[in-house]
């Protein structure tokens, strides 16, 4: 995990903005474009439909992150379905994407 995120300790405005924009696109696609419309037809099962490509996006990353994307993806889907918005999931996903590399860089 540390090898994958080597150099993640550098957090500046560009890193924060780049991470936010990247995750906004991911959340919009998987939860806004895919999940919410599918949920109108399939209900909560839409979470499982949207989960597979979401997990595949994490392929090639450390296994803990790949497996974590299953649980986290379902949680983000739950938030989106419950609230009808992708913003809560985006905020949570962004915090995770910023905090994990920081913790790893500090040896935690």
- How many domains does the chain fold into? 1
pLDDT band at 106 (very low <50, low <70, confident <90, very high): confident
Q: DSSP character for 2?
A: T
69's CB contacts (< 8 A; 6+ apart) are: 54, 55, 57, 58
The count of C-alpha atoms lying within 13 angstroms of the C-alpha of 35, restricted to the half-sphere facing its C-beta, is: 31
Q: Is residue 24 part of a domain?
A: yes
Rg (CA), the chain: 14
- Asked if residue 3 belongs to a domain, the reply is no
Q: What is the pLDDT of residue 3?
A: 57
- Is 62 inside a domain boundary? yes
Per the structure, the complete domain to which residue 66 belongs is given by 13-105
Higher pLDDT, 2 or 89: 89
Q: Let me know if residue 6 belongs to a domain.
A: no
Kindly report the pTM of this predicted structure: 0.83
2 pLDDT tier (thresholds 50, 70, 90) = low
Cα–Cα dist 2/105, whole Å: 7
What is the signed CA dihedral for 21, 22, 25, 26, rounded to 10 degrees? -140
Q: Is the pLDDT of residue 80 over 90?
A: yes
């Amino acid at each position: 995990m540390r090898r994958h995120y080597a150099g993640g300790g550098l957090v500046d405005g560009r890193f924060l903005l780049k991470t936010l924009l990247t995750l906004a696109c991911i959340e919009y696609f998987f939860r806004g474009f895919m999940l919410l419309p599918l949920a109108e037809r399939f209900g909560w099962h839409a979470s499982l439909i949207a989960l597979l490509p979401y997990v595949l996006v994490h392929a090639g990353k450390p296994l803990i992150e790949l497996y974590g994307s299953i649980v986290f993806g379902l949680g983000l889907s739950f938030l989106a379905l419950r609230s009808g918005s992708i913003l809560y999931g985006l905020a949570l996903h962004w915090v995770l994407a910023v905090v994990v590399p920081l913790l790893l860089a500090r040896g935690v």
